[in-house]
Chain A
Amino acid sequence: DAGITQSPRHKVTETGTPVTLRCHQTENHRYMYWYRQDPGHGLRLIHYSYGVKDTDKGEVSDGYSVSRSKTEDFLLTLESATSSQTSVYFCAISDGRTYEQYFGPGTRLTVT
């Protein structure tokens, strides 16, 4: 299995509070991604990174920001969490050759 960890694995927070999710990789892959998955939906891309300090928006980026100060870490921040951001969040990585993605175990976030 690719070396990807996500923390925390579970979190319950209140509306309006800031939340940061961390994705850590040991594969030295260039690309990192954040997705969210909601019941009955496939995965939707939030943000992705193509190198240190290089990030771009995905299809559902509103309300989220990201940062990547090191190759191995990609942070997803909800500046002011809302109930609509209750979801399971997956991090993924890929190299710069064949671009298949390897996913982390997920973080289940509940905003009350």
Chain B
Amino acid sequence: DAKTTQPTSMDCAEGRAANLPCNHSTISGNEYVYWYRQIHSQGPQYIIHGLKNNETNEMASLIITEDRKSSTLILPHATLRDTAVYYCIVRVAETNAGKSTFGDGTTLTVKP
């Protein structure tokens, strides 16, 4: 599975959009991009995933560049409850039994 690179930490003002970048320059054509977050001491929570096209759900939007070497998770109106560690993972969904390798992630702090 491809490695990912994320900034260690980011701040965002409450009510503004939070844009979390992820680099995955060695991604293969059949690898998906998944995003999870972990709020302090809780189990990680699935947010969104995509292959090529941009995706949106009730929690967030995922923008994947055309060359698929990077992506951005967008929380459109960040709240204090969005303060968490955000993990970007790339992997082939159909192989390796869907196992993921979680790196250190980005600590997002939403400030009033």
Contact = CB atoms under 8 A, between A and B. Distances in A.
Contacts of A99: 32, 91, 93-94, 98
Size bracket, chain A contacts: 20 to 34
Nearest to B98: A99
A76 B99 CA distance: 17
A90 B98 contact: no
B34 A42 contact: no
Interface in A74-112: 88, 90, 92, 94, 96, 98-106
Interface stretch (A14-22, A43-51, A63-71): A43-51
B43 A104 contact: yes
Given A41-B104, A42-B104, A102 B99 contact: no
B54 interface: no
Contact of B44 (A40, A96, A103): A103
Nearest to A35: B102
Nearest to B100: A101
Contacts of B41: 88, 106
B97 A48 contact: yes
Contacts of B45: 103
Given A42-B87, A98-B49, A103-B44, A56 B102 contact: no
Given A35-B102, A41-B104, 5 more contacts: A43-B102, A45-B100, A59-B101, A88-B41, A104-B43
Interface of B: 32, 34, 36, 41-46, 49, 87, 91, 93-94, 97-105
